[in-house]
Structure 1
Amino acid sequence: MTNKDGRCELQLLHKEHAQALLDLRRRNHNYLQPFEPLRDPSYFTLESQETDILSGMGDKDLASSRLFGIFLRETGELVGRVALTGIARGPFQNANLGYFIAEEQQGKGFMTEAVRLCVGYAFDELGLHRVQAGVMPRNTPSQRVLEKAGFRREGLAERYLRINGVWEDHILYAITREDWE
């Protein structure tokens, strides 16, 4: 997926992307760690990345997640990931949005572009009604990404996720199909 004038594109991740994803995670481990759960060393293996990718494959109407690589159009380099997880059907029609980008690509607008593409996919391809995301209050760059992508701030969830070994508060953001249209 790409915008006509976009500088990056989203591709559903496949098993053949596992090594590039593993390399990206390893290169950016120290940069990303303050914003992620503590992970067992086994997470940083090719097998674990393949398993993660395979969890987001299959029938789009049945999958509980969709994982996309963020690739630079100019070079084809994998520079980040955006994911829809916890996809709920029935009366909820909701997904959680999560993302990360390489440290050297931060602040260039790629993540906002990728989030917009992913939200468009959630509404247009998956038929969802709502996409939500949680961001730690100190992560202002991530808050700006969501706001630029049209998300609204809904409130504070105290001790929401265990990040880097600590129960962290998160500001909850959401966008619904009506907001998107």
Structure 2
Amino acid sequence: MVPRTSILPARIADDVVLRLARTGDGRAMAAAYERNREHLAPWDPERAPEFSTAAWQERNLATLLADHAAGRFWPLLLVADDGRVVGRLNVANVVRGAFDSAAVGYWVDRERTGQGLMSAALGVVVALARDELGLHRLEASTLLHNEASQAVLRHHGFVRYGLAEKYLRIAGRWQDHVLFQRILTD
């Protein structure tokens, strides 16, 4: 069983809380993806039309929450006080043992970019990973031209350690990514 955390939920702005996703969030998640379809298209894999439906999101969320219960995944939402999802931040692929590592991935609503939300959320997640999950390392990857995301990572002590050619199929084609990591135990 995954331990409860004292860090979450965390208020990251006057009107936004970072919290663990929960059953029933599918409708708000679907609305966020539909609202941000064009905004996210250059940064995401191509999505089937049903991806931005409440039913699809709720089914996917059930899988993510099962992975969370097993300690492998932390599906986090940035939720405005009005209930709208205005971002996601996942702690994925948690591997224990000699690795004690996980990957982070995130996005923020098109209307909320440049407001420091993801920087604040990532700061909470770094503390969560280090202090409560006991991880040694976090990793992240960005498209080569995603300077805003790279700035957020650098702000939180992530360092570039490599380049992965044709790493992920984003916007319909295999694209190179810059690899970052943050060592948490030093």
1:8-157 correspondence to structure 2 within 5 Å: 8-58=16-66, 62-72=70-80, 75=82, 77-157=84-164
CA contact (8 A) 2:26 2:57 kept: yes
Distance 2:79 2:105 in 1: 16
In structure 2, distance between residues paired with 1:119 and 1:177: 8
The alignment's TM-score, normalised by the length of structure 1, stands at 0.89
SS at match of 2:141: strand
AA in 2 matched with 1:113: A
1:39 offset after TM fit, Å? 1.6
**Contact in 1 for aligned 2:130/2:185 (Cα 8 Å):** no
Partner letter of residue 139 of structure 2? Answer: Q
Counterpart residue number, 2:166: 159
> How far apart, CA to CA, are the structure 1 residues paired with 2:68 and 2:177?
29
Report the aligned-residue RMSD. Answer: 1.9
Q: Which runs of 5+ in 2 are unaligned?
A: 1-7
TM-score relative to the length of structure 2? 0.87
Q: CA distance change for structure 1 residues 130 and 105 in 2, over 3 Å: closer, same or farther? A: same
Query: What stretches of structure 1 of length at least 5 have no aligned partner?
Result: none
SS in 1 for 2:41: helix
Match of 1:171 among 162, 171, 178: 178
Matched-pair contact (CA < 8 Å) for 2:18–2:78: yes
Q: Which runs of 4+ in 1 moved over 4 A?
A: 58-61
CA drift of 1:3 comes to 5.8
Over 3 Å counting, the alpha-carbon distance change for 1:61 and 1:28 in structure 2 is: closer
Q: Aligned partners of 2:131 and 2:82: how far apart in 1?
A: 28
1:39–1:115 CA distance, 2 compared to 1 (3 A): same
Paired residue type of 1:142: S
Aligned length: 177
Q: 1:122 to 1:114 in 2, by over 3 A?
A: same
Instruction: Give the AA of the match of 2:41.
Output: Q
Contact 2:67–2:73, Cα closer than 8 Å, also in 1? no
- Cα distance in 1 for residues equivalent to 2:31 and 2:84: 12
Deviates more, 1:74-83 or 1:143-152: 74-83
